[in-house]
Chain A
């Protein structure tokens, strides 16, 4: 069984080296690919310098397109698993094993949830967001949703094929879940711990939040995961 870790990165020169070092130290069996989403800084140079595969988009096309590039690579090279991993140091390499162990063969996707353990600190605003999107997903038929926007997820071949063909463009996590559900692909959440962000900026800033809520809600309701 072969697995590919997909790390989307946009202007992450400050943290990418540290993230990669930690990941390599605790996870030797997985292949790693960094999808450089048109970074203007030294991200690509650092990744290549560490002898890690770097797929570079010429222009910045957004997180959804970057992640999808990884899924396309995973499908093309016939990987059994693909794992999304943040470049900013929030995700931890030692959490990959529990994610893989949670697979029973039935699920198409196992997602690491920050909120299942109950000790993850986050702003009230973000908790409200998580609650809102969990509720929306449940109304639309998804089960056991606690961390709808978690980007720490492991996909099997079915999910890889689905996302390689069709993946939401911006703020893709919540919608991607609905897409899986629509095709009756089972999703499971397991508790994980996440570190606080080491650097870089969240793709969701305060002013973008309203757009985020409106866009994702509208897209989910109108498209229903199509």
Chain B
């Protein structure tokens, strides 16, 4: 399994790059669609676009991943670098989501309080 992954991701010119390229493009297209249809706020899509473009770039062009991974960060096994990037992107998005939830729950509290006070007055 690990051997396969290595071969697949690091092989400099395989047909796999065509497929990963298509998948990456479809995902980007899907993100664009979500924003256009107002199913995803543009501000929230920024992290997805940024993170996904970065990861997709290295999936499609593995030689650059090697440069980053081995020469800059000293990680011998390049796919680890890719996984690290993905995990950090997801972590960032989740952290961002929890801040959004916090803000929203504060807003809900204020709305509910004001509504209760108004209702009692009627």
Q: A56 to B113, Cβ gap below 8 A?
A: no
Q: Which residue of B lies closest to A169 (CB)?
A: B109
Q: B119 to A56, Cβ gap below 8 A?
A: yes
Check: A138 CB closer than 8 A to any chain B CB: no
Q: B117 to A69, Cβ gap below 8 A?
A: yes
Cα(A59)–Cα(B115), bound, Å:
11
Cα(A72)–Cα(B110), bound, Å:
10
Q: B113 to A58, Cβ gap below 8 A?
A: no
Q: B113 to A57, Cβ gap below 8 A?
A: yes
Check: A68 CB closer than 8 A to any chain B CB: yes
- The smallest C-beta distance from B43 to any residue of chain A, in angstroms, reads 25
Cα(A169)–Cα(B110), bound, Å:
12
**How many of B's residues come within 8 Å of A, CB to CB?**
10
Most chain-A CB neighbours within 10 Å: which of B109, B116, B119, B120?
A: B116
Q: B120 to A53, Cβ gap below 8 A?
A: yes
Q: A55 to B112, Cβ gap below 8 A?
A: no
Interfacial chain B residues near A65, Cβ < 8 Å = 109, 112-113
Interfacial chain A residues near B112, Cβ < 8 Å = 57-59, 61, 65
Which residues between 99 and 122 of chain B lie within 8 Å of chain A, taking CB atoms? 108-109, 112-117, 119-120
Check: A54 CB closer than 8 A to any chain B CB: yes
Q: B117 to A73, Cβ gap below 8 A?
A: yes
Interfacial chain A residues near B113, Cβ < 8 Å = 57, 65, 68-69, 72
* A71-91 Cβ-contact flags toward B at 8 Å (1 or 0): 011001000000000000000
Q: B120 to A58, Cβ gap below 8 A?
A: no
Interfacial chain A residues near B108, Cβ < 8 Å = 61
Interfacial chain A residues near B115, Cβ < 8 Å = 58
Q: A56 to B116, Cβ gap below 8 A?
A: yes
Cα(A59)–Cα(B109), bound, Å:
10
Cα(A68)–Cα(B106), bound, Å:
12
Residues of B whose CB lies within 8 Å of any CB of A are 108-109, 112-117, 119-120
Residues of A whose CB lies within 8 Å of any CB of B are 35, 53-59, 61, 65, 68-69, 72-73, 76, 169
Question: Please, could you name 9 A-B residue pairs with CB atoms under 8 Å apart, sorted by A?
Answer: A55-B120, A56-B116, A56-B119, A58-B115, A61-B112, A65-B109, A65-B112, A69-B116, A73-B117
